[in-house]
Amino acid sequence: MATQSPFSFLEDFLQKSSANFQPPAWVVDETQRRIVLLLNHILMQEPEAMRRLARQKGLTVLFQWRAFTLQLLATPAGLLDRAAPSHVPDLTFTLTESSPLAMAQGVVRGDKPAMQIVGDVQLASEVNWLIENVRWDVEEDLSRIVGDAPAHAVGQVARRMAAALREFVARRPGQGSSNGLST
């Protein structure tokens, strides 16, 4: 007799509860504004990323997952802004995994999400370069607020928690042990 994973209940719950979930328009708007601010903050720490993005000025990228979308416009300054909803995107990334739990598990394992990519090949290449090379140094930003030593301690705790979570997901029944995780 097969034992059902406790994660199946959570996945069923997430599927059912998120199937018809649509947040209010103001929440979506504010969340998108915050995402753009965060992305620009990260980009401003990488001059090469800004130079590369400035070469793509005026082009837009649409990110989609289920009912959620975010369309970004490359500015002449090498930063991002939200594109008008009526603007036809030059590049579209559509996440194909519909299960939030399966996607979260993939992220924890370090897997890239399954997606469909349609549009401008050069822009896709630049976006790929940004994804592969630009990293947010959270510890550095935190050190500006609380100081170096506490920020380093928080960073160590976060890295240990992430490693433990990756190890837990790797040991979950039905998961292979050769999943390419690095801690």
Confidence of residue 5 (pLDDT cuts 50, 70, 90): low
**Residue 161: band (very low, low, confident or very high) from pLDDT cuts 50, 70, 90:** confident
Q: How far apart are CA 37 and CA 44, in angstroms?
A: 11
Q: pTM of the full predicted structure?
A: 0.68
Query: Bigger pLDDT: 166 or 131?
Result: 131
Q: Which of 75-84, 137-146, 170-179 has the highest mean pLDDT?
A: 75-84
- The per-residue pLDDT for range 55-88, each reduced to its tens digit, is 999 999 999 988 889 999 999 999 999 999 899 9
Nearest CA among 106, 112, 113, 114 for reference residue 169: 106
Mean pLDDT throughout 118-139? 87
Architecture of domain 24-135: 2-Layer Sandwich (3.30)
Question: Is 87 in contact with 73 (CB distance < 8 Å)?
Answer: yes
Q: Are 32 and 81 in contact (CB under 8 A)?
A: no
pLDDT tens profile 20-60: 678 888 999 999 999 999 999 999 999 999 999 999 999 99
Q: In sequence order, which residues have a C-beta less than 8 Å from that of residue 135 and are 6 or more positions away?
A: 42
Number of alpha carbons in the 13 Å side-chain half-sphere of residue 157: 6
